[in-house]
Structure 1
Amino acid sequence: MSYRLYVRPLPPFADPDTTPDAQLYNWVLLDAGGDSQARGAGDRKEDIEQTLVQNDLENVLLVGLLPGEEALFCTADIPAKQSRFVYQALPYAVEEQIAQDIESVHLAMGNRTEHGFRVAAVDHKRMAEWVAMFSGWEHLKLEAIYPDAGLLPVTEGGWSICIDGETAMLASDQGEWLSVQARNLAMFAQTLALPPSDEVVAEVAVTVYGTEQEFEHQQADLAELRSSGRLVVREERLELMPLELLAHAHHHHLCQPINLCQGEYSIRSRKSGALNPWKPLIAVASVWFVIQIGVEVGMGLYHQQKADQTREEAMALYRQAFPDDSRTHAGNVRRVVEGQLRQLQSDGPDAGFIALMKYTGEQYSTIPDTGSVVFNSVNYSSNRGELVVDVRADSYNKLSTLRNGLTSQGLTAEIGSVVNESDGARGRLTVSGG
């Protein structure tokens, strides 16, 4: 079963930065059917949370109510229908109705009426304080924040008034709300009795809610309301605190309140805001990950290209030595050569091209920085039993090392036609059996 907790802070309001624990609240807990299960008056936040713990309630929805005078009601006549254009035009549509810089005001939009969109305007700083007050409660999840007067049940064709101590909350059937001092209620009688200029209304219905004590205390003001001549006043006596009237009206959809948790204060935005401190780190990690993937892909492509190039060079050398072999290709050349080497392993150093290539390759692999030694061409004379390699190195010493290594294997190796160049030495290496 889902529960909803309505919380209304009591004045004087505690400083949210210095003494947040000193704030007191009236509250009422409703179950899914709208029945009151628990209530409290003048309790601290910890007391309310403890009550939920004692009743084993978790994930209760929290509805915060702020004083009606904190949120200014206004209307926005915007012809656009798409939400994006409506929100773009909203500040300009209500700017003249607000007595402060529009940039410093948070705007929350309600439903659309024949007079335009209903809008609530709250000072940004104050809105941030209210959000902070109703956030972070244990076992509770903030669902909405409303102006308290906006939750009064609607009186068809007129006004609803709720007397709450020294304050009177008012709401019209057009969705307008305001809070005034109860002692000034009579002053609003003439305003309430005045119909719009384009309408002819004989009577204006007014429903007044309050406890027996409130009616007795405000008897003179209520008498003045009745004596206005055009107001039809109906009294509804409350047995409990006004907060329960507001909660009942909201649960049963008897009102049209504007949820102030919109835009940057929306519940969804604030949920995602928990990641805000980590966003720079996440951004850096994401960039690093993309760069790393790019490097890995680039290196993979580079090595693949080099492997293809090496295979092509190997096949070119093989074709030079065996131009009539059409069955060998890059995929099986290694297996073919290895098979030939195994077959000729026992023939000695003068076995022919395969053996000479094997020993030359082995000595080439022992040279430090093999990339600095390049075989430009390989030729083999079967009549002379000689392998002739046109070789280039960054120094003559590496050519000499290659020759000496072959000689140590019992082969005859000579370097001829040596040409010293600015970037190395080039010569012809002749290898034959011992």
Structure 2
Amino acid sequence: METKKVHWQSHTGQWLIGDINDNLTEQGVALDKWADELPDLTQVRLVLSAENYSTHWLSMPGVNNRNLAKALPFALEESLIDDVENYLIVPAGKHNKKVRAYAVARDLIERLIQECELHHVQVRELIPETQLLPVQNLMRRSGDGWQIMLPGQFEGWVHDVALTPVLENTLDEFQAEHTSVWAPALDQAQLLKTSLETGYGDSFETIEVTATDGNSQVLAALENKLVNLLVGEFVVREVKEDKPAVWWRPLAAVAAVWLVVSTIYLYIDNNMLAEKEKQVRQASVALYKQLFPGERIRNLDRQFREHLSGGSSDSGDGFISLINTTSRVYAAKGLQKSVHLQSIRFNDRLNELVVEVKASSLNELQMLKQALEQEGLVAEVASATNDKDGVKGRLKIGGAA
């Protein structure tokens, strides 16, 4: 991906493009002319000139990284020329417990993105120029001024005309062991060193002068992870090439939707059936335990069939025979209104039904007992107690009572 430097020239109202270390006011070309020579949808990485944004170092104790982006606009409200809503503020790390934040006008970024989109150029990153400087005390000659990096104190580009008041404000009560001065011409670096030593002698213990433009260090910094100003609503949208619609895509979409819906319904049906099966088995187990108390359940279906077919009882009166005769006698004698069958249990070992009943009187219970005996069954009133609604009793039917 190509990397270029971009600079907004306010007095001409145009964007200038050039190489990373170019002085764009002298060497830059207009963005539209540069874009005309690029293939459509070229992806580029742009380095925003330090003249087009501001850097702020802030002490924000008690604010964690998660809430930093929300807190920065309130902290910078008094430091910005325009309303804080008109700026994009991006946090960019910390140094010695101070937070660094870049502030750039929103309309400036919007203008840059719109002009690039107009010329079919896709901007993937927008990097602040001073991010490419080493994080150390440094003053580097750049164009008609100096790029200054004093971590935790100041970061930005200063024109020669404004250098003295900026240094007076920045270096007041500032002290550091060392700083470096880079300039292509040694005499420029020496001149700045002399100014620092005479005017701000207490700020730096040593000042190292190097005759270098620092271009290699700046280019090497592009390989590092850098802050991107295109965040939030400024993330560039990709321009997709129009392609003819594929005829089968709507059918595939319908088929996919049908498959998903069918799978969901099948899943729901299976779950409902499994739940119903679970409920039926629980009810069957409860019924079996009620009818045949004390029996161990091994194969519920087989055990039910054995009991319903008469089982292997030597008496010949299996469960089905006893329950059939009892229900027939109960219905024939018309005892439904005066005698209510509460529950039935079957003792397989004794070949005996135990019926819990509720009767309006003891006579009614005796009538049921006698009717069963007339049918050839052995019946006994095992217990009978009076209560406010009649008589509660237990009737044993079948085997020897």
Please give the TM-score of this superposition, normalised by the length of structure 1: 0.44
Please give the TM-score of this superposition, normalised by the length of structure 2: 0.47
